[in-house]
Structure 1
Amino acid sequence: MSLRLNGSEIVVEMLVREGVPFAIGIPGHGNLPLVDALRRRQEAIKVIMPRHEQAAVHMADGYFRACGRPLAVYTSIGAGAANTAIGLATAYVDSIPLLLLVGETHTYMRGVGVLQEIDRQYWSDLPRTFDPIVKRAWRIDQPRQLPRAMSQAFNAMLTGRPGPAVITLPMDVQAESVDLHDLPDPTTRRPRGAPTGDPAAIVQAAALLNQAQRPVILVGGGVVIAQAEAEVRQLAEHVGAAVVSTMQGKGAFPEDHPLYGWHMGSNGTTCGNHLTTQADVILAVGVRFADKATSSYRPGYAFNIPPTQLIHVDIDPFEIGKNYPATVGIVGDARAVLRDLLRELAALTPPRAWQASPYTVEIAHVVSQWQATFRAQATSTANPPTMGRVIAEARRVLPPQTIVFTSSGNIQAQVFQEMAFTLPRTYISAGGFSTMGWAYPAALGARLARADAPVVALVGDGDFLMTIQEIATAVQYDIPVVAIVFNNQGWQAIRDLQQIVFGDQANYGVMFEQDDHPISPHIADIAAAFGAHSRRVTAAADVAEAIAEALAANRPAVVEVMIDMQHGASGGQAPGWWDVPAPEYLGDKRAVYERERSEEVI
């Protein structure tokens, strides 16, 4: 078999063979042949055109998080390519695969300074900016390299620790044709199966779990990526372990299960921190142990490692032992390792009778205590409503299979703390890079992946305004995502943090106001101008009806809720500790900070 294809046609045919259903991007002079190749194969791969390249990457990111399959993103040369950096960094930190196809200077014009080329240090230098935020990158010089590069890119993205990949496509390479014998079959270029853990380490880990009296399974994003949710539940029920999750692991274990202990860390929960600090053995699966999850490594707040013995499972050896010493470190796929652990434990002992054990009773008690701490805000009748009331109303109205997205700030933290999820991949957040403007376009991507489930983005007004233009994308392609916008007329999370660290008088540079009067836009009116269903809510009693109405509309919708901005009602709790330095001129506050920081073990 012989094929004559140009570089763009090779790329598109490879995408089709990989089963990629959507290419998301914006056309420019630097990718016209690629766009035309997509036009000629539009029956096999559909183009989605967002209004900003950052949003294109976020959409592909959300698509993978919802269904576990990667998409392609394409941009022109120069500014369009640079616009993807925030999206790539978000995906890279959270180990999310996607393929970015970037237009580049003609190979024979590199160094002359063509339109949008950066050439003062190295010719056609922009692609180097992606180096720290992608798993692999390929710079193409001729179309004959593309079949190999495309195969390698998908291999890199989807094996080991996943992550985004970039292929640069010079303009002449996109248009130049070559004769090829055939294009590679993707199934022949990728390994099958998943890496398992060292057998001796599995035996040692099983022995530790078997003897543990207060075991905790700490669930991270690696569990979700490996689709190991069922194995976590089986293991927890076999040994009677409490299950606590990071933000990326939230939803991997049903949050109405008697063994679920919610979350630990600075923005975790009192019950989660209690369980992880009192554990004798922690099995951490797919966890990075970042500062927010660990209360900035201050012993006794989120963890006590040691004396707690740590079994750390991760696909990436880089993470094991990075922040805490591991009694047993196991490199391997989360699902494969947990299956091996289950087999080893089953050979050691029958399942424990955990349903009425003192440990299970203790879990229920500390969870109940935690939930009592936010009940007043969740049932408040104040107008404008508290964030807690809006979150509670949303959970009451949204079906269990609804996929909920959050980005950053108070909404992210409070939904994490208070909203329960019982199905995998129904809570999704940009936990690692905490990217503002991420949730709404990511939710659009998720709806492309999961037409069977409602998709909702819970965002602040500051967050939403960063990518509000993507309402136009939702309307153009009829993507029925609901955005619930908590309008507190500024950067409320930072305002609250200013008050905590610097005092009540220190609110500065954080509110959308002029001469002490709010000038925040009427977001519901903006949404209506784009053609979306919209409604503004100012009373707590109207929140549930507005959300239900938006879901029933089955089209792009925005529910704007004006929020009580009083400190204490404007965000969640901080049951742990977070290292936010206080300047020396704060006197006693600085002294307290220095004492607390001195307790960190890093």
Structure 2
Amino acid sequence: MKLTGGQIIAKALKNYGIPYVAGIPGHGCWTLLDAFLEEGCEIPFIQVMHEQSAVHLADGYYRASGKPMAAVTSVGPGAANTIIGLGTAYADSTSVILFTGAPATHMRGHGVMQELDRFHSNDFPRVTEGVTKRHWEANRVEELPFIMHRAFNAMLTGRRGPVHVEVPMDVQAEAIEVQIHDLERRMPIGTMRADVAAISAAAQLLRKAARPVIVAGGGAITAEAWNELRQLAEAVGAAVVTTWNGKGAFPEDHRLFAGSVGQTGTTSGNALAANADVVLSVGCRFTDWSASSYRKGTSFSFPPAKLIHIDIDPQEIGKNYPTEVGIVADAKLALQDLLQAFTTADIEAMAATRADYYQEIERQKQEWERIISARRESNESPMTSQRPLAELRKVLPRDGIVVVGSGNTQGAVKQSFPVYEPRTYLTSGSFSSMGWAVPASLGAKLAQPERKVVCIVGDGDFMQSLPEIAVAVMHNIPVVFLVQNNMGYMSIRGGQRKIMGRHIGSEFNLKNGEPYTPHFAEVARHFGLKAWRAETPEQVADALKEALETEGPTLVEAMTSRDAAGPFVPGWWDFPVPAYIQDERQDEYQEGRELEQHL
């Protein structure tokens, strides 16, 4: 079979199960894109409005389904615009495959249009090194079949991550006789099992634990370990807390769910995790946000607590906290093996000692509900950030998906919006990229067309990818966009005020100091969406109900308060106080630094 380089890529993607390709056409990739129109190579193309969004859209597709999607962009700025998307996927370990164009091989180094050549001929691949799991440059069309199965192997095994393939224009156009490799014969069967001795040691620690806590991170969802997680928690009587990306791994209406951990965790989650005697971490990296910058007694206490750390990546074991038992394995298989290590007698013995602990879990959760309920139930106008979320939870089905932007919205949803099923809460937890949520929600809806998908985003975040709502209209992707409008970057303003006592650049104001905002509902209507602006809880409740019942894409603009915008901050974040501030703020910071345990 004689195929061009573009056809080789298109046919391989189709054979390997890629359902969509997102991107923007340009002279550097139009030969590749044309191949998707050829018989046997047809894959639907989703045209976005910015190349960064192409990668974010594919990222959202993966997070909602566990299956990869592809993105294609042109050379030069078209390629460079993807870096934030790649960085977001890399930080959160999600599988995306990106193809970018490049100057023809015989034109390299000539400084042709959109070539970066001053330091090294065609230097873009070097830019991607820090934001991809692996990247390839196809210098000859004969290399493409090999590159294709290696790229899929890299992004779908071990710790997941994005991959990048650069394809020069002449390589896209040249043809050779070729056989597309069978991907199944190029991939391992099964995943990594845990060491038997490590499982035995971990089980023994859990048998002796009086206050066990399980921390579910994003790795628990990637491994699809949610059933095993619930079964193990019930077997050992452990409280379960979640991180940014672990939210959804454990049902939040389960009696053992204790909340979330970290700087914007819940008081219940932080208190129970900080006072645990044994912590089992499942796919958690213990970032500063999840661990309150490692301040002892705030989110965790290692020591005296003993840590069992399960992760697919050996580099994460012991990186931020010392481990009692470090287990390198697939989370699902490791939890299965742990479950098998307990006899019926073990489970009964552990249950017999847990009555007081179960009461404490419930007491801590009730105290958190008392704290958060004031904002959830507030009738103020402008609204608190939590009130629209409470109204959304009333009307969104249990399996509905929320795709959450950065900033205060991210923290508020983490704390006050319960989710019950895996892959129903998606957020850019590690990179916390603004502009991610809107295109990612489109990808999530393409991945789960039968489910309701709501993009929850702040106004500052929304304006970084607002044009992508046109994609929702053009392709009839019925996402509900809930825009929390408080006229600025209020999470940044809050941090500035706390540390410096003043702020700069974090409010959207006119020259005279009056608050400024576009009328997002009106803007959305001009894009072709049905849209509402809600200024009261009653209005937002009605608008959300109608939006979810509407067939096409919709937008609800909820006017929220600048001064009640942020989530509660039960944790700690190591943010250095400038040396010119010498008061209690500096003292508090230095005291916090002294309690950090990661060094």
TM-score (normalised: structure 2): 0.98
Tell me which amino acid in the other structure corresponds to 2:303. P
| C-alpha displacement of 1:305 | 0.5
Alignment of 1:404-415 (within 5 A): 404-415=402-413
**What CA deviation, in whole Å up to 9, does each residue of 1:249-293 have, x standing for no partner?**
001100000100111111111111111111111110101100011
Secondary structure at 2:343 match in 1: helix
Helix, strand or coil at the partner of 1:349: helix
Describe the superposition over 1:224-266 as per-residue Cα deviations: whole angstroms up to 9, x where unpaired: 0000000000000000010011111001100000100111111
Letter in 1 for 2:412: Q
1:579 aligned partner? 574
| Mean Cα deviation higher: 340-349 or 259-268 | 340-349
Give secondary structure in 2 for the equivalent of 1:399: coil
2:506 aligned with 1:510? yes
Query: Could you tell me which residue of structure 1 aligns to residue 242 of structure 2?
Result: 245
Q: TM-score, normalised by structure 1?
A: 0.97
Q: Deviations over 1:541-566 (max 9, x none)?
A: 21111001111112111100111222
Residue 54 of structure 1 aligns to which amino acid in structure 2?
Q
Q: Quick check: 2:61–2:447 contact (8 Å CA) kept in 1?
A: yes
1:349 matched residue in structure 2: 346
Instruction: Give the letter for the 1:300 counterpart.
Output: G
Greater displacement, 347-356 / 288-297: 347-356
Query: Does residue 328 of structure 1 match 2:322?
Result: no
Match of 2:204?
A: 207
Tell me if 1:188 matches 2:203: no
SS at match of 2:2: strand
SS of aligned partner of 2:580: helix
Residue 42 (structure 1) shift = 8.1
How many equivalent pairs are there? 595
User: Mapping of 1:94-493 within 5 angstroms?
Assistant: 94-180=92-178, 182-346=179-343, 349-351=346-348, 352-353=350-351, 357-493=355-491
Q: Once the 2 structures are TM-superposed, how far is the Cα of residue 358 of structure 1 from its aligned partner? A: 1.4
CA contact (8 A) 1:106 1:171 kept: yes
Query: What's the offset of the Cα at 1:600?
Result: 1.6
The AA in structure 1 aligned to 2:417 is M
- Name the stretch that deviates more: 591-600 or 228-237: 591-600
Assess if the C-alpha contact under 8 Å between 1:111 and 1:119 holds in 2.
Answer: yes
Rounded to whole Å, the distance in 1 between the matches of 2:300 and 2:13 is: 45
Between the aligned partners of 1:301 and 1:370, the Cα distance in structure 2 is 15
Percentage identity across aligned positions?
Answer: 47
- Assess if the C-alpha contact under 8 Å between 2:237 and 2:354 holds in 1: no
SS of residue in 1 equivalent to 2:241: strand
- Name the CA shift for 1:481/1:417 in 2 (closer, same or farther; >3 Å): same
8 A contact 1:21–1:44 mirrored in 2: no
Alpha carbons of 1:511 and 1:59: their partners in 2 closer, same or farther (altered >3 Å)? same
CA-to-aligned-CA distance 1:377-397 (integer Å, 9 cap, x gap): 111111121112111111112
> CA offset at residue 591 of structure 1?
2.7
Assess if the C-alpha contact under 8 Å between 1:354 and 1:360 holds in 2.
no
Take 1:346 and 1:24, find their aligned partners in 2: how far apart are those partners? 50
Which amino acid in 1 is paired with 2:373? Answer: R
Could you tell me how far apart the structure 2 residues matched to 1:543 and 1:284 are? 38
Post-superposition CA distance 1:364-409 (Å, at most 9, x none) = 1000101110111111111121112111111112111110011211
Report if the CA contact (8 A) 2:241-2:258 is conserved: yes
Q: Deviations over 1:434-486 (max 9, x none)?
A: 01111111010000000110000111000000000001100000000011000
Counterpart residue type for residue 576 of structure 1:
G
Assess, with a 3 A threshold, how the Cα gap between structure 1 residues 231 and 155 changes in structure 2: closer, same or farther.
same
Structure 2 residue ranges without an equivalent (≥5) = none
- CA shift, 1:41, in A, is 4.3
Give 1:32-71 correspondences, 5 Å limit: 32-41=30-39, 44-71=42-69
Q: CA deviation at 1:353?
A: 3.4
Runs ≥4 in structure 1, deviation > 2 angstroms? 41-44, 350-356
1:597 aligns with 593
SS in 1 for 2:294: coil
Secondary structure, aligned partner of 1:518: coil
> How far 1:356 sits from its partner (Å)?
7.4
Gaps spanning 5+ residues in structure 1: where? none
1:563 paired with 2:557, answer no
Give, in angstroms, the shift of residue 15 of structure 1: 0.3
Inter-partner Cα distance in structure 2 for 1:473 and 1:174: 27
Query: Superposition pairs for residues 524-543 of structure 1, below 5 Å?
Result: 524-543=521-540
Q: Distance in 2 between matches of 1:190 and 1:43?
A: 22
**1:408–1:430: 8 Å Cα contact kept in structure 2?**
yes
CA contact (8 A) 1:93 1:432 kept: yes
Take 1:112 and 1:348, find their aligned partners in 2: how far apart are those partners? 74
Pairwise CA distance, 1:498: 1.6
8 Å CA contact 2:11–2:40 kept in 1: the answer is no
Alignment-mate amino acid for residue 575 of structure 1:
P
Give the letter for the 1:510 counterpart: S
Question: Is the Cα contact below 8 Å between 2:10 and 2:42 reproduced in 1?
Answer: no
Deviates more, 1:591-600 or 1:516-525: 591-600
Aligned residues of 1:23 and 1:71 also touching (Cα < 8 A): yes
Q: SS at the partner of 2:293?
A: coil
Distance 1:41 1:450, change over 3 A: farther
Shift of the 179–233 alpha-carbon distance from structure 1 to 2, 3 Å rule, reads same
CA positional deviation for 1:571? 1.3
Q: What amino acid does structure 1 have at the position aligned with 2:46?
A: I
Root mean square deviation of aligned Cα: 1.3
Q: State the AA in 2 paired with 1:423.
A: E
Deviation string 1:505-548 (CA, Å, 9 cap, x unpaired) is x1321111111112211111111111011111111221111001
Contact 2:11–2:41 (CA under 8 A) maintained in structure 1: no
Write the distance in 2 (CA, Å) between the matches of 1:290 and 1:222.
Answer: 13
Distance 1:543 1:383 in 2: 11
Whether the 8 Å contact between 1:240 and 1:354 is mirrored in structure 2 is: no
How far is the alpha carbon of 1:92 from its aligned partner? Answer: 0.3
CA contact (8 A) 2:406 2:428 kept: yes
Find the residue that maps to 1:494 and give its secondary structure. Answer: helix
- SS of the aligned residue for 1:536 comes to strand
Post-superposition offset of 1:346? 3.1
Once the two structures are overlaid, the 10-residue window that deviates more, 352-361 or 363-372, is 352-361
SS at structure 2 position matched to 1:376: helix
Q: Which amino acid in the other structure matches residue 249 of structure 2?
A: A
SS in 2 for 1:345: coil
Report the CA distance between 1:348 and its aligned residue. 6.8
